[in-house]
Structure 1
Amino acid sequence: MIELSNVSKLFDQARAVDDISLTVATGELCVLVGTSGCGKSTTLRMINRLIAHSAGSIRIDGRDIEQIDPQQLRRGIGYAIQSTGLFPHWTVARNIAVVPRLLGWPAERVRQRVEELLQLLELAPAEFAGKYPRQLSGGQAQRVGVARALAGDPDILLMDEPFGALDPITRESLQNELLRIQQQVRKTIVFVTHDMDEALKLASRIVVMDKGRIVQQDSPQALLAKPANAFVENLLGGQERGLKQAGLLRVDSLMQALARPTSAVTGPRIKATDSLRQALSLMLWHRCSSLPVVDDQGRQVGVLQLDALMSRPQ
């Protein structure tokens, strides 16, 4: 869906992006991660021509972006940023409707799309459609920003640290929301963050950048297992890599399953859908070497042993 070939960007002879090549497949959630000033946001903004690239080529669905009218290009690409960029004097509904209206959609189709997206992002249309941005919490405003980015039903969604200014609880909630939405709508998403935990949680593929270049790109599991160099290893958390890797695996991947679910259990227990990192934390806290594993109804469906956690393959 997106192809960058030998792309560079110079600002007054300083190379912000230096000869990078990157392919993002259809339906992939690709996360660009790195320290401040590494070129990740510049790379993102070159895709929809908010910043012009200095060298190389960028193609979307096989078409060179320089051959596409910039306004037409941007209307076909969703864009969500940290500050949301909502128009303060417009209602939530009008903010979401801006791109469909520019695309010339009929009024009834626009209304239906606004309502559909508010429901998708768990914002009750009757409650939120007529509100103004100043009446929203930070998390609600960010949801509206994501809804606006999705409003024109674009194939591609670009997200530049959209959750960076939020508190940890709201941020985690919106990360979960993005994963849920992605399972339903399967957009091609390029997501920029400086937070490696966020990258590991969201990405199907992580692209690590440093000083304008791509240092390594791979799946979260592969990246944790074999970082290319000390920079990537440190970015991944150094000695905490094992915990981060455990955070990507579910309890049911290592538990001993029971032949049939039993009655609800009391005391320390872990859900089958929780992560191995959460299970290890519970074991350390309660000083136990095994945990009953329960389903959403609280019935025991298995047992997780510390030995199984320690001997899991990397």
Structure 2
Amino acid sequence: MIELINIGRQFGDVWAVRDLNLTINKGEFCVLVGTSGCGKSTTLRMINRLIEHSAGEIHIDGQPIRGFREEVLRRRIGYVIQNIGLFPHWTVARNIGLVPRLLGWKPERIAARVDELMALLGMSTERFSGKYPRQLSGGQAQRIGVARALAADPDILLMDEPFGALDPLTRDGLQDELLSLHHRLNKTIVFVTHDMDEALRLADRLVVMHEGRVRQQGSPIELLREPADDFVESLLGGNSRGLKEAALTPVSQRMRPAAVTSDAPVIEATKSLREALSLMLWHRVDHLNVVDGVSKNTVMPADPAHILGGLKLADIVTARAPVGAPGGAQP
């Protein structure tokens, strides 16, 4: 658990963060969002003492972080940034093994951990371990940055706009991988982004900051439905909040138990209502068959063996799942 208690950070006469209170539970994916200069990156860096807090206390598992030596604290917390920070003259394997070497791990244990992490992130050890950062694509380099942050198996992972410089396709793929990693490894993740769609897709808890303070926090669905004020509503998309909520709601929550019609276009049950609406608009229909994901055919007719149910336009626009229902992308 991470606790920020009345935290403040002052730069000269300016308070970048003031009176900030936030509790991040073990295993939670917490995303900090807000306009530029709102204090979200400063808050992230105070957790691992890259920036010292000027007021208040920060606790990790009940212990004040100033009770840890700085280097020990930082080795316990994985840290990923936008420009990755890989050492250009080191191979991929050596970059990943940095923290374990500092911790005195034996070479064979480091090598095994490098192999494990590269496999976890879908990168062949034989193909990539001997490469240098300049030989990697942006997405590949960012995967190595994540692997390096996870190398010593930290409980906490801090990520400061890690996908901000990547193209949309690569970014979407890495978001999927990060969600999958989170579900498998149960790490506590604190993630900073300026991209609201990314924040809504990833967060268990969404924290909106403004002028150094927390303006509102809660699940993405809670904030979309009940923004605290005009600022939060605007940041979340204003009149497009309905579409953003649809992007978080899986088709499985709204489908009917039987197929609507045998010749309707199909959509997988794990896809979002926003994708279902787009498919309806594209095919000029008001109903879809919902399939189990085994069938790769997205047009008609669907294989009856794979049909789970049906979805009508009315199911999207009239029904509403309860606030506590799960949202976000599925691993």
TM-score normalised by structure 2 residue count: 0.92
Corresponding residue of 2:301: none
Runs of 4+ in 1 over 4 A off after TM superposition: none
- Letter of the structure 2 residue corresponding to residue 296 of structure 1: G
Residue matched to 1:91: 91
User: Is it true that 1:39 corresponds to 2:21 in the alignment?
Assistant: no
Give the equivalent residue in structure 1 for 2:194. Answer: 194
Matched, 1:300 2:318: no
**Match in the other structure for 1:74:** 74
The separation in 1 between residues aligned to 2:280 and 2:237, in whole angstroms, is 22
Question: Given the superposition, is the C-alpha separation of residues 111 and 266 from structure 1 closer, same or farther in structure 2, using an over 3 Å criterion?
Answer: farther
Match of 1:120? 120
1:42-53 equivalences in 2 (<5 Å): 42-53=42-53
Provide the C-alpha distance between the structure 1 equivalents of 2:293 and 2:64, rounded to a whole number of angstroms: 49
| Aligned twin of 2:165 | 165
What does the per-residue CA deviation read over 1:128-162, in whole Å, with 9 as the maximum and x for residues that have no partner?
11000000000000000000000010000000000
Read off the aligned partner of 1:294 and give its amino acid letter: V
How far the C-alpha of 1:241 sits from its partner, in A, is: 0.2
Deviation at 1:268, TM superposition (A): 2.3
Match of 2:265 in 1: 268
Which blocks of at least 5 consecutive residues in structure 1 are unaligned? none
Secondary structure of the corresponding residue to residue 256 of structure 1: coil
> CA offset at residue 267 of structure 1?
6.0
Tell me the distance in 1 between the aligned counterparts of 2:108 and 2:89.
23
Q: How many residues align?
A: 310
- Partners of 2:264 and 2:288 within 8 A in 1: no
What root-mean-square deviation, in Å, do the aligned CA atoms of Structure 1 and Structure 2 show?
A: 1.3
Identity of aligned residues (%): 63
Residue identity in the other structure for 1:268: P
Give 1:106's aligned residue.
106
> In structure 1, the residue corresponding to 2:97 is in which secondary structure?
helix
Give how far 1:284 is off.
1.6
Q: What secondary structure sits across from 2:248 in the alignment?
A: coil
Alpha carbons 2:77, 2:156 under 8 Å: kept: yes
The 1-side partners of 2:94 and 2:280 are apart by 50
* Deviation sequence 1:19-75 (CA, Å, 0-9, x none): 101000000000000011000000000000000100000011111011110000000
In 2, the alpha carbon distance for the partners of 1:79 and 1:167 equals: 22
Is the 2:264–2:289 Cα contact (8 Å) retained in structure 1?
A: no
Inter-partner Cα distance in structure 2 for 1:284 and 1:185: 38
Aligned to 2:140: 140
| One-letter identity of the residue aligned with 1:283 | M
Once residues 55 and 43 of structure 1 are traced to their aligned partners in structure 2, the CA distance between those partners, rounded to angstroms, is: 12
1:281 aligns with 2:308: no
TM-score, scaled to structure 1: 0.97
The gaps in structure 2 that reach 5 residues or longer are: 296-305, 322-331
